[in-house]
Amino acid sequence: MLMKSFRKKYPPNFVIGAVITVVMLLLILMSFFYTPYDITKMDSASKLAAPSFRHLMGCDNFGRDIFSRVLKGMENTFVIAFLTVVIGTAGGVLIGAFTGYFGGWLDEVLMRIIDVVFAFPSILLALVFVSIFGTGRYNVVAALGVAFIPSFARIVRSEFIKYREMDYVKSAQLAGVGRLRIIFVHILPNTFTVLMSSIMIGFNNAVLAEAGMSYLGIGVQPPDASLGSMLSESQTYLFSAPWYAVFPGLMIILLVLGFSLLADGIKA
Amino acid sequence: MKYGLKKFVTMLITILCISFLVYLAFDVIPGDAALAALGTDVEPERLAALREEMGLNRPFLERYFDWLLSFVTGDFGTSYKYNLPVADMIVSKLPVTVIMALISFIIMTAVSLPVGIYTAKHSGGRIDRVITVVNQIMMSVPHFFMGIIITYVFGMVFKLFTPGGFVSYETDIAGFLSYIIFPCIAIALPKIAMSVKLLRGSCVGEAKKDYVRTAYSKGNNTNKVLYRHVLKNAMIPVITLWGMMLADMLVGSIVIEQVFNIPGIGRILLTSISYRDYPVVEAIIVLIAFVVVVTNFCVDIIYGIIDPRINVGAE
């Protein structure tokens, strides 16, 4: 009885997504305080060791524990993706809200600029940033954050265009409510559902982009761990130690899969 | 016609903006061509003289238009590192990247169209549910990890190709294609998942509309309704997605080239970034952005052809 109503309320996709996401978040949370081994500690005796109870995911070419490094890498990826989405959302909401609400020449000009940035592939923008400011995680965050602004701005703008014509907004205007208050207090909360699902999609894109950039060696720098750079290193030992590639890759997939299942569930 | 013209002008303005921003971005970095040519420990007088000679003292806008003009005529400047014309360095590598993007695109459309239509037609069925799950997982795999999996499975276990054994198309076309097909599959797989999902959803959404019921009541069977009525409308969002994907694939091949050890545009771009060889970086980025913008323009035009409402709306 209880099970049945639970199933009706939450579709299986949503439940699976929630379980994966919660487990991943707990692992990430744990990595802030504890990893089984020091992520930079090398042990020549266990170079490329296979997974065992001592080393759950085996060891890399320096004998470092892959499980610990995967945990730390997930933490780095999560933090970078999170900050990226924060910058993208904040910028996107501000631009989208003002252009959508006021329209006019401001809208025209800003939207053309947004179109230009949107036409520019995010990885390319990140490469420009890196070649100018150098490699490193904060440059990646800045670059991806800016690259993510246009998609949020477009969504928020179209929502604001829809709401600004509504009666409740009109009556608020007549009642003399300030513009800023109408924008942020009266309209913005209504865009929350739409915004939420694009935030989750954005988060996934940020995870994939970060992984791609650290794979290319322009994200988080060694000896710090990142899933992308582990994958890049693992390729040399793909034949003798395939697990070195499997686990970091699997973690990226789970991180993204969990979030996209959740996002689908929220939309439905 | 008016619609096409408007889009064309927008395209030109976008390209101009991008080239300006990229030129500006690389102009504000400390260090210029003269410094790169002479090295850092040179007397200031010689540096100043060379700057004068290379025309680096002129105002920014003048230099920009000069650069733009020579860019349009195919002169992309000279590499700091190799002292070669950038155009020569790029031209020999560009075909590899472009061919890879095109093959991936063909694979994507060829697979996702029938699979998408099939799942839409049998939505709710067992095969549809399996494909939906597979899709969901595929979409979560970064394409470079897909490349690593493909290297392991097809290169190391089944030995269908030699990982790292890239053959240039100039020496052996067949060898080139049989190597390049694997990175192309790696690029295409996640995109196939996305477009199958969109096409399925779009078809199922269209099938609920009134005109579909009308078409049925006029005595059409499922296939006729699907191919003559539903698909025409359902394809519109899919074509937009495909346009974005083509651009994505071009950029995505920068990463995949590293996985499969392919000497394409991505390789030069990354090495040039690490050597701070700005003219090369600048040229490649503007060139890729140019291709992306032109692709978007073509999508807009195709869009206007298949959906005449858009043409009307713009006038």
Q: Does B13 touch chain A (CB under 8 A)?
A: yes
Distance CA A7, CA A227 (A): 35
Rama region for A177: left / alpha / beta (φ>0; ψ in -120 to 50; rest)? beta
Q: How much is the pLDDT for B292?
A: 82
Q: Is residue A38 part of a domain?
A: no
Distance CA B68, CA B73 (A): 9
CB contact under 8 A, B148 and A235: yes
The tokens for B62 are 């003048």
Q: How much is the pLDDT for A255?
A: 93
Q: Which of A110, A120, A232, A257 has the most B C-beta neighbours within 10 Å, making it the best mutation to test the interface with B? A: A120
**Amino acid identity, position B185:** I
Tally of structural domains, chain A: 1
CB contact under 8 A, B259 and A120: no
Distance CA B116, CA B237 (A): 13
Residue A58 exposure: Cα atoms within 13 Å on the Cβ side: 19
Give per-residue pLDDT as tens, B265-300.
Answer: 888 888 888 887 888 888 888 888 888 888 888 888
Give per-residue pLDDT as tens, B158-170.
Answer: 888 888 778 888 7
Q: Which of B12, B29, B140, B251 has the most A C-beta neighbours within 10 Å, making it the best mutation to test the interface with A? A: B140
> Beta-carbon neighbour count of residue A265 at 10 Å?
18
CB-nearest to A132 from B29, B136, B269 is: B29
Q: How much is the pLDDT for B103?
A: 94
Q: Which residue has the tokens 């439905």?
A: A268
CB contact under 8 A, B254 and A123: yes
Q: Is residue A153 part of a domain?
A: yes
Q: Which of A131, A234, A238 has the most B C-beta neighbours within 10 Å, making it the best mutation to test the interface with B? A: A131
Q: How much is the pLDDT for B315?
A: 41
For chain B positions 159-188, those within 8 Å of chain A (CB to CB) are 163
Q: Which of B159, B270, B273, B280 has the most A C-beta neighbours within 10 Å, making it the best mutation to test the interface with A? A: B273
Is the pLDDT assigned to residue B56 strictly greater than 80? no
DSSP string, B136-172: HHHHTS-HHHHHHHHIIIIIIIS-SS-TT----TTT-
The tokens for B306 are 């298949």
Residues of A engaging B, defined by a Cβ cutoff of 8 Å: 13, 112-113, 115-116, 119-121, 123-124, 127-128, 130-132, 204, 208, 211-212, 215-218, 228, 231-232, 234-235, 238-239, 242, 245, 249, 252-254, 256-257, 260-261
The tokens for B140 are 């979560």
CB contact under 8 A, B136 and A212: no
Query: B310 falls in which pLDDT band (50, 70, 90)?
Result: low
Is the pLDDT assigned to residue B199 strictly greater than 90? yes
Which CATH number belongs to the domain containing residue A72 in this structure? 1.10.3720.10
Q: Does B139 touch chain A (CB under 8 A)?
A: yes
Containing B256, the helix (H) or strand (E) segment is: helix B231-259
Q: Which of B81, B136, B145 has the most A C-beta neighbours within 10 Å, making it the best mutation to test the interface with A? A: B145
| ipTM entry | 0.85
Domain boundaries, chain B: 1-83+268-315, 95-263
Q: How far apart are the first and last CA of chain B?
A: 9
Q: Is residue A131 part of a domain?
A: yes
Bridge partners of B305?
A: none
In chain A, what residues touch B18 (CB-CB under 8 Å)? 116, 119-120
Please tell me whether residue A35 adopts helix, strand or coil conformation: coil
Distance CA B293, CA A111 (A): 16
CB contact under 8 A, B278 and A131: yes
**Amino acid identity, position B145:** F
Ranges of chain A with pLDDT below 50: none
CB-nearest to B140 from A113, A238, A256 is: A256
Helices B173-207, B143-150: crossing angle, 10 deg rounding: 130
Q: Is residue A46 part of a domain?
A: no
Give per-residue pLDDT as tens, A182-226.
Answer: 888 888 898 888 888 889 889 999 999 899 888 988 888 877 888
Among the listed residues B269, B275, B306, B242, the one whose alpha carbon sits nearest the alpha carbon of residue B93: B269
Q: How much is the pLDDT for A252?
A: 94
CB-nearest to B251 from A113, A124, A211 is: A124
Q: Is residue A60 part of a domain?
A: no
Q: Is residue A55 part of a domain?
A: no
Q: How much is the pLDDT for B314?
A: 46
- Taking CA atoms, B86 is separated from A90, B38, B53, B91, B93, in Å, by 39, 19, 20, 9, 11
Q: Is residue A247 part of a domain?
A: yes
Global pTM reads: 0.87
In chain B, what residues touch A256 (CB-CB under 8 Å)? 139-140
Among the listed residues A223, A201, A219, the one whose alpha carbon sits nearest the alpha carbon of residue A210: A219
Distance CA B270, CA B277 (A): 10
Give per-residue pLDDT as tens, B170-196.
Answer: 788 888 888 999 999 999 999 999 999
Domain range for A94? 10-32+65-267
Q: Which residue of A has its CA nearest to B296?
A: A119
Q: Is residue A3 part of a domain?
A: no
Q: Are A219 and A137 contacting, i.e. CB atoms less than 8 angstroms apart?
A: yes
**When comparing pLDDT for B42 and B234, which is higher?**
B234
For chain B positions 264-303, those within 8 Å of chain A (CB to CB) are 269-270, 272-273, 276, 278, 281, 285, 288-289, 292-293, 296
CB-nearest to A212 from B136, B141, B255 is: B255
Query: B200 falls in which pLDDT band (50, 70, 90)?
Result: very high
The tokens for B299 are 């999508």
Q: How much is the pLDDT for B75?
A: 81
CATH class of B95-263: mainly alpha
